[in-house]
Structure 1
């Protein structure tokens, strides 16, 4: 049975119901709809601009970075939590830089990336079919595709060109009359550290290393021993010759031994991650302080670089803040709007050499080398290309 309200009262009550209930219904719908429109989907790691990067997509990116840069995801605990936040921020910033490059119409032709990769393969793995075969084997070992590598090469080239465009005005302000004062206030930066010319032999066991030491100290020719016994393919053909190196270029324990003995001495065995090492000191170059005139060009480059990086970081901080990246709780970095740490001084240079000596500490079993195997690549300055051979 339906109860009918009399005329005006019924109409007034109906209007009251509409006035009260309709806003409540709209508010309730809003509670349901707003998260769908403005919030992050449940599987999202972050959103930058209109692009949502899911947790699965971020994981796939970590897999590629692991192969290309030697990055390793921690197993668990607070390190994994910090890694997750760091890598989310690094990938978010890379998206911001991609967008900035697109706005400036910076395009890297496929041929440019391909030519760069071909040059890297030729210089490090050999030219022709042998080099390409070695590269293909390396891709299989690292479980990445050639397109993954080409995409990263193109990304680095875009970032480098973006860096040049953003920082060109600041670089142009450097004049020669500013250089002497800069040199005087940064004398230590231009000091030449002590160097030693070394030969090195790598063997698998301590017993083999002890035997190499005995033979060398009994008068056997060290160069011949290196060609005969060393496991390091990159230096065996040159009789273990590492050339002149500084302590900072070597494994810490190996450097301590190499710089503690007189010229002509055999030292070791020293264990590094590549095996047991026995070395010989051929020559010594003491540390020195070059004059301003001797390093004038380096001073100019250093001042230009300092101003470029400062300008880049300010610009990058502004872009990050403007992007207003939304992170899921588990992926939100401590300071989402800050630019990445400035460790650009440790970014690798395009050395393009083959497998360096096993005593060297900067190696990684990766395609595009970065200094740390535990942190995502820094975007505080554009990375340089390097392609060390995985061991």
Structure 2
């Protein structure tokens, strides 16, 4: 298989992998946040079927029980299947003593989060969930290919042919506020110095309607990004995390940018990504069902709900 085809397959796989995890994590975050009963009194009220009013619309009341029942109807079976699959992977991985390193999880997290813009993965509160899902996904891959052997020379050949895939550029997670004039931009900078919140200001005054509703969030940019002015990266490289820039002339207006996070670039060696390549090439040899359901019988999964798939 030539290099161009390998590169195309690899990037398609990465995009699909990232989107699947985004969907899973979005669901997990929604369910986790919505089902969080932080106070014992609330939990007790729900268990005992008592009213726990969380909103009113005129004479109509909406209780926590109503919300949970609605969420269960919308996401219950999907969330249950996800929970079962995660537990199946955990138990079967333990049975076969299959492990993945923290370094592998961190590398996948780093590569995925710098690939997508304005998505749930940019929420700091979801990082732990992301890493849990990534670890579960890698463990599943290891289980699926546990009986597949890929020669060392094939792994090295693939690495040499596809080195660009294992290079991460310095990436900057930015937000911006776009203003029409330098005076407007200077006023925004002064408000930030006086303690105003960047995201709130972006929603209130930024002329970029596409990002204003997101608090100005434009995701991760690198030197190769072409959607936004190159001056953004130049300025961001001199900022500290949690700080903003002076006004930047962007041709038809002025921008003030905010640096949330910088992810340092890295060139991964063959040894760094050897297991990742092994999984990739071994998975290409697999056929049939490729999810945790193939281990349900081995794990002794029993469904006791009427909503069973």
TM-score (normalised: structure 1): 0.29
Asked which structure has the greater CA Rg, the reply is 1
Bigger relative contact order, structure 1 or 2 (CA pairs below 8 A, ≥6 apart) = 1
Q: TM-score, normalised by structure 2?
A: 0.37
